[in-house]
């Protein structure tokens, strides 16, 4: 199984499909990540706020997989944007992960009410320059947030990790990202199971046409759009299912039919709006 890579604007490569560990309980994380690595995942997406970086680190250490074959992302939490806190936060994350460097470090939310995300971005640049992460990016940043940090620093994030799935496609952000060579990481790629993506005719019809499951069709739709995904499951059969999306191709008409599932009014969003998170 070869997972394709995407080239970031800083020249580094990221596996387009990985494993996300949001809501994987800390006590289960080493087992879940070990299983994901066994199944063939090499890209793990965690965050300080998930409380499970130690479990990710334990699974990496136990795996024996060469570090260069793994891609590890973690994120700066919202209460650590100020002063030199981002430097302290990345060092704590690295300690928990048992690594000298991550591949990608993200500002988790812009928290615009606190209005300190530009400062956080300036600190991310220092953190990258200090070699503690290879690439830097943001998460949950909308166009005004992206414009502000890029105009002030001239440094374009490698990625923006946003909620994105067929019912909520955030085309304003994806258009901006395409124009500025920022890769989109789609979180909640399956709608977190809260939105009935799988029952939609566009998904169900493509699934039966290709002999695939609806989840595989939705993940394939992301892949064909060039989005980076890391669906979460703690069940081995689903880990295998979610990785098995590289042996078929949706037709242009099938992709277009799934594109049509965007509600267009934001009502497909299943989680918090970035302006409301502090
Ligand atoms: P997801 O869309 O991946 O949904 C996960 C849920 O979908 C699982 O709990 C499971 O119930 C179901 N599922 C998984 N595989 C399935 C399959 N094959 N068939 C049927 N159902 C299946 O949502 P997520 O976990 O929120 O997002 C993925 C990752 O994105 C997270 O683990 C995390 O790493 C990241 N994330 C980031 C942010 C952020 O603010 N940056 C927020 C949420 C999630």
Cα(167)–Cα(271) distance, integer angstroms: 12
What pLDDT, on a 0 to 100 scale, did the predictor assign at position 159?
99
Ligand 1: atom nearest CA of 242 is 18
Instruction: For residues 212-228, give the mean pLDDT.
Output: 98
19, 50, 105, 195: the catalytic one is 50
CB 268 within 8 A of CB 259: no
Ligand 1: atom nearest CA of 216 is 18
Does residue 51 carry a pLDDT above 90?
Answer: yes
CATH number at residue 157: 3.20.20.100
The total domain count for the chain is 1
Cα(160)–Cα(150) distance, integer angstroms: 13
What pLDDT, on a 0 to 100 scale, did the predictor assign at position 44?
98
CA of 183 to the centre of ligand 1 (A): 19
Residue-wise pLDDT for 69-110, tens only, equals: 999 999 999 999 999 999 999 999 999 999 999 999 999 999
Element (H, E) at 159: strand 159-163
Tell which one of 190, 196, 242 to mutate to probe ligand 1, the residue whose CB is within 8 A of the most ligand atoms: 190
- Has residue 213 been placed in a domain? no
Q: How confident is the model at residue 195 (pLDDT cuts 50, 70, 90)?
A: confident
Tell which one of 14, 22, 23 to mutate to probe ligand 1, the residue whose CB is within 8 A of the most ligand atoms: 22
Element (H, E) at 121: helix 117-129
Look at residues 6, 17, 22 and name the one whose alpha carbon lies nearest to residue 42: 17
What pLDDT, on a 0 to 100 scale, did the predictor assign at position 72?
99
Cα(39)–Cα(240) distance, integer angstroms: 6
- Which residue's alpha carbon is at the smallest distance from atom 13 of ligand 1? 233
Paired tokens of 230: 């890391």
CA of 193 to the centre of ligand 1 (A): 8
Could you tell me what percent of the chain has a pLDDT over 70?
A: 100
Find the domain containing 143 and state its range.
Answer: 5-188+227-233
50 flagged as catalytic: yes
Does residue 1 carry a pLDDT above 80?
Answer: no
Instruction: For residues 193-216, give the mean pLDDT.
Output: 95
What pLDDT, on a 0 to 100 scale, did the predictor assign at position 127?
98
Could you tell me what percent of the chain has a pLDDT over 90?
A: 97
What pLDDT, on a 0 to 100 scale, did the predictor assign at position 136?
99
- Has residue 145 been placed in a domain? yes
Compute the half-sphere exposure of residue 62: CA atoms within 13 Å on the CB side of its CA.
Answer: 16
Q: How confident is the model at residue 194 (pLDDT cuts 50, 70, 90)?
A: confident
Sheet containing 43-45: give its strands across.
19-20, 43-45, 71-76, 102-107, 133-139, 159-163, 183-187, 228-229
Does residue 243 carry a pLDDT above 90?
Answer: yes
Strand partners for 135:
104
Q: Which residues form ligand 1's pocket by a CB distance below 6 Å?
A: 20-22, 45, 108, 139-140, 161, 187-193, 215, 230-233, 238, 241-242
For the question of whether the overall pTM of this predicted structure is more than 0.75, the answer is yes
- Has residue 37 been placed in a domain? yes
Cα torsion angle, 260, 264, 267, 271, sign: positive
- Which residue's alpha carbon is at the smallest distance from atom 3 of ligand 1? 231
- Has residue 102 been placed in a domain? yes
What pLDDT, on a 0 to 100 scale, did the predictor assign at position 2?
87
Ligand 1: atom nearest CA of 22 is 32
Provide CB contacts within 8 A for 157, sequence distance 6+: 121, 136, 137, 138, 141, 146, 149, 150, 182
What pLDDT, on a 0 to 100 scale, did the predictor assign at position 196?
86
Quote the strand ranges of 11-95, DSSP E: 13-15, 19-20, 43-45, 71-76
User: How confident is the prediction for the chain on average, in pLDDT?
Assistant: 97
Residue-wise pLDDT for 110-135, tens only, equals: 999 999 999 999 999 999 999 999 99
- Has residue 261 been placed in a domain? no
- Has residue 130 been placed in a domain? yes
- Which residue's alpha carbon is at the smallest distance from atom 26 of ligand 1? 188
- Which residue's alpha carbon is at the smallest distance from atom 10 of ligand 1? 233
CA of 173 to the centre of ligand 1 (A): 20
CA of 62 to the centre of ligand 1 (A): 25
């Amino acid at each position: 199984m070869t997972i394709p890579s995407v080239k970031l604007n800083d020249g580094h490569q990221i596996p387009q499909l990985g494993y996300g560990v949001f809501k994987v309980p800390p006590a289960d994380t080493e087992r879940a990540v070990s299983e994901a690595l066994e199944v063939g995942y090499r890209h793990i997406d965690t965050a300080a706020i998930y409380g499970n970086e130690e479990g990710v680190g334990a699974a990496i250490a136990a795996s024996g997989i060469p570090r260069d074959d793994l891609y590890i992302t973690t994120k700066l939490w919202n209460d650590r944007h100020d002063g030199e806190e981002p430097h302290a936060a990345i060092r704590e994350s690295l300690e928990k992960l048992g690594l000298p460097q991550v591949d990608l470090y993200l500002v988790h939310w812009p928290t615009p009410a606190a209005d300190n995300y530009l400062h956080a971005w300036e600190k991310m640049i220092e953190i990258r320059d200090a070699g503690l992460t290879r690439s830097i990016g943001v998460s949950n940043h909308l166009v005004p947030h992206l414009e502000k940090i890029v105009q002030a620093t001239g440094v374009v994030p490698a990625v923006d990790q946003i909620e994105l799935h067929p019912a909520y496609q955030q085309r304003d952000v994806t258009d901006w990202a395409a124009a500025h060579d920022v890769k989109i990481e789609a979180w909640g790629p399956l709608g977190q199971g809260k939105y009935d993506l799988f029952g939609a005719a566009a998904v169900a019809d493509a699934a039966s046409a290709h002999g695939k499951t609806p989840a595989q069709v939705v993940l394939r739709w992301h892949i064909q759009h060039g989005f980076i995904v890391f669906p979460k499951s703690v069940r081995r059969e689903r880990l295998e299912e979610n990785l098995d999306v590289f042996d078929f191709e949706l037709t242009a008409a099938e992709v277009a039919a799934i594109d049509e599932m965007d509600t267009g009014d934001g009502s497909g969003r299943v989680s918090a709006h970035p302006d409301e998170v502090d």
